[in-house]
Structure 1
Amino acid sequence: MKIRLTLFLLIISLLTITGCGKRVVDLEQVSPEEKIVIKFSHVVAENTPKGLAAQRFATLVKERTHGRVEVQVFPNSTLYKDGEEIQALQNGLVQIIAPATSKLSGLYPQWQVLDLPYAFEDVNAVHEAMSGYIGNRLCDSLKQNNMQALAFWDNGFKQMTNSQRPLVNPADFQGLSFRVMINSQVLKKEFERLNARAVEGTFNDLYRALDSHEVDGQENTMSNIYSKNLYKVQPYLTLSNHGYMGYVVLTNQQFWTGLPEEVREVLESTLVEVTEWEHEQAFILDKQSLEKIVDSGLVQVHQQTEAEKKLWLIMLKPVYSEFKNLIGNDMIDYLEKMHSQ
């Protein structure tokens, strides 16, 4: 009788554990050999569109894989700086990065198409281009260096700031120096066309360079200007929307294709969802950041008029023809057709 009772309890225990023949896995208790760690490195603050989206992606992935996949986010250049993260990705030291598209120009000159002045009327035009011909062409170029684009995230349109005087007409740039992102020859040429000096510099060093007056000004989105306190050392702001700044979420292609299919599907579907959310947040943060900067009382803000925009375009338009061969006639033609519609 005692043996039967013991056997009965053992059977009940096994049925409880296996769920009547189906193996129940406690996904909250993932063994070390099953866990997948993904390092996500970026250079901006956590309270920016990219910073918020990276953290949201990490949180959702952990929830949806029940801890099997851990995305470790390293913001503010805490892991790798500008100019270092692409090499780190190729070497497998990180698995995801999200650089500004301009920073890919050292390897892929055609990515400078996104740096061209007044290339896009609004963010919808950017999304149309990146989900179509231009985006496909740019993504294809990454494959030769074992990289794969996973998503395109918005930051917003760039505005001009400086410490010397209001920037209203092209002549106001004369003799000033401006920090530009590394690798993009288009950005350097734009300031040269405005008779200003372009100085390449990393984002993490930007505040120091402005505060010490190593450079007079810079171009950036409102969320970056606010989150990095650039407005505190840049009393003049021109709302020009002269260029778009976006990010491409990149992974090491060999790493990505080597993931289990079910894990990759969760990551991809989550990225689609987070990308839509990120686009909304970028718009909201852009507006909120401008409001906070205006409320600070530290900055004189000038809204560019259509007449002023035309004057800037006269100075900057030759950049298109100068870089047509380097970027690609087809992509320049695509942009010009968009402008004519």
Structure 2
Amino acid sequence: MVRGLLVVLSLLLLGLQGCAPKAVDFEQTSPKEKIVLTFSHVVSDASPKGRAARLWADLVYQRSGGRVEIKIYPNGTLYKDGEELEALKKGYVQIIAPATSKLTSLDSRWGVFDLPFFFNDLEQVHQLADGPVGELLRKSMREKGIEVLAYWDNGFKILTADRPLENLKDFQGLKIRIMDSPILKKQFLKLGAIPVPLSFNEVFEALENKKVNGGENTPSNLYSKKFYQLQSYVTISNHGYLGYAVLMNRDYFNSLDQETRKILLDTLKEVTAWQRKIALEQNAADLARIRNDQNIKIHDLTPEEKEAWQAVLKPLAYEIIPLFPKNLQSEILKIGNLN
């Protein structure tokens, strides 16, 4: 009986082992084949960047049959604003999408996107990013182990403060939060303010505790993070552009098979076109919501006020343009609003 039971158990065990591979359903892909990429960013899921990241992840998952998964970590939950670039370089995370301003720490020429009153509209920004200038900046990152996959928009920045900002004298002594960029620092120094570099994750607390008196950001960021609720005055200046570079660790990117790279890049191209469209729409909608807040006093720059600001700030372009090769300097001058 014992021998008979052992034989039966052995047969059952063999039968179960033979069935095991058929029973495993790993989203139609074996665990060994599955590719998981980590995408860390510091803004809300509800922001244009956050929405585009989710869409990219969803489409890549569908188009790869579940073989490629992009895991999204928003709001600085994985790496904070000042940490993610280093994490990418070390390979701790595969994808990030920092503001282009953050890349000035690696190459000061990225400051071309920070120039105040340089772009009339987003079409001019796209012309710069998608043309020879953007390609040069891509190459500059490859030398540093980073692949630039796409350029995403947020939009044009407006100002919030605890006092009205209309004339140049209104900036005197005002502590303004900025991203750590040389051009942004010089921008506010020229206006007579005190620039205070802070990471995005520190902004709410700094405004709440009056460590800074104001800041610059897009309506979508001001609304999704509720920064505007901590300030009494908003000036619709549209003085500077805020955009992002979608980055991947270059060694990791090159280690991916050709089919995976094609799915990622082809899908990202579609998502980028969509992202740029919804960024424009969302900023307009969020600005309307901010305007409807009865506790906020809104000021739209008059043509005369704007002209006075431009006279002070436009010359900053000539600190960046000479850093580019001669053939690209003329390209930048053609695009930029320097009249």
TM over 0.5: yes
Answer yes or no: is the 8 Å Cα contact 1:112–1:327 preserved in 2. no
CA distance in 1 between counterparts of 2:156 and 2:277 reads 14
Q: Which residue of 2 aligns with 1:261?
A: 258
Find the partner of 2:229 among 220, 224, 232.
Answer: 232
Mark the runs of 5 or more structure 1 residues left unpaired by the alignment: 1-25
Matched residue of 1:155: which SS? strand
One-letter code aligned to 1:204: N
Answer yes or no: is the 8 Å Cα contact 1:98–1:249 preserved in 2. yes
Q: Which residue of 1 aligns with 2:63?
A: 64
**% of aligned pairs identical?**
46
CA distance in 2 between counterparts of 1:289 and 1:113 reads 26
Mark the runs of 5 or more structure 2 residues left unpaired by the alignment: 1-24
Matched residue of 1:52: which SS? helix
One-letter code aligned to 2:278: Q
Kindly tell me: are residues 134 and 80 of structure 1, through their superposed partners in 2, closer, same or farther at Cα, counting changes over 3 Å? same
**Does residue 170 in structure 1 map to residue 168 in structure 2?**
yes
Find the partner of 1:180 among 178, 196, 199.
Answer: 178
Q: Which residue of 2 aligns with 1:189?
A: 186
Answer yes or no: is the 8 Å Cα contact 2:118–2:314 preserved in 1. no
Answer yes or no: is the 8 Å Cα contact 2:152–2:276 preserved in 1. yes
Answer yes or no: is the 8 Å Cα contact 1:158–1:242 preserved in 2. yes
**Does residue 104 in structure 1 map to residue 103 in structure 2?**
yes
One-letter code aligned to 1:44: V
Q: CA deviation at 1:37?
A: 0.4
Q: Which residue of 2 aligns with 1:137?
A: 136
**Does residue 319 in structure 1 map to residue 319 in structure 2?**
no
Matched residue of 2:29: which SS? coil
1:199-238 pair list within 5 angstroms: 199-238=196-235
**Does residue 309 in structure 1 map to residue 309 in structure 2?**
no
Q: CA deviation at 1:335?
A: 3.1
Matched residue of 2:72: which SS? strand
CA distance in 2 between counterparts of 1:239 and 1:44 reads 22
Answer yes or no: is the 8 Å Cα contact 1:110–1:328 preserved in 2. no
Matched residue of 1:198: which SS? strand
Deviations along 1:74-126, whole A, 9 cap, x unmatched?
Answer: 00001111221111111111111000000001111110011011111000111
Q: CA deviation at 1:318?
A: 3.0
Q: CA deviation at 1:266?
A: 0.8
Q: CA deviation at 1:169?
A: 1.3
Deviations along 1:179-208, whole A, 9 cap, x unmatched?
Answer: 0002x1110010000000000000011011
Kindly tell me: are residues 323 and 129 of structure 1, through their superposed partners in 2, closer, same or farther at Cα, counting changes over 3 Å? closer
CA distance in 1 between counterparts of 2:82 and 2:325 reads 24
CA distance in 1 between counterparts of 2:328 and 2:243 reads 17
Q: Which residue of 2 aligns with 1:4?
A: none
**Does residue 282 in structure 1 map to residue 293 in structure 2?**
no
One-letter code aligned to 1:64: R
Kindly tell me: are residues 319 and 96 of structure 1, through their superposed partners in 2, closer, same or farther at Cα, counting changes over 3 Å? same
One-letter code aligned to 1:62: Y
Instruction: Provide TM-score, normalisation by structure 1.
Output: 0.88
Matched residue of 2:81: which SS? coil
CA distance in 2 between counterparts of 1:200 and 1:330 reads 33
Q: CA deviation at 1:332?
A: 5.2
RMSD: 1.8
Q: CA deviation at 1:329?
A: 6.3
One-letter code aligned to 2:125: V
Q: Give the number of equivalent residue pairs.
A: 315
Q: Which residue of 2 aligns with 1:12?
A: none
CA distance in 1 between counterparts of 2:212 and 2:325 reads 32
1:325-336 pair list within 5 angstroms: 325-326=322-323, 333-336=330-333
Kindly tell me: are residues 237 and 340 of structure 1, through their superposed partners in 2, closer, same or farther at Cα, counting changes over 3 Å? closer
Q: CA deviation at 1:328?
A: 6.3
CA distance in 2 between counterparts of 1:315 and 1:158 reads 18
Answer yes or no: is the 8 Å Cα contact 2:322–2:329 preserved in 1. no
CA distance in 1 between counterparts of 2:338 and 2:174 reads 33
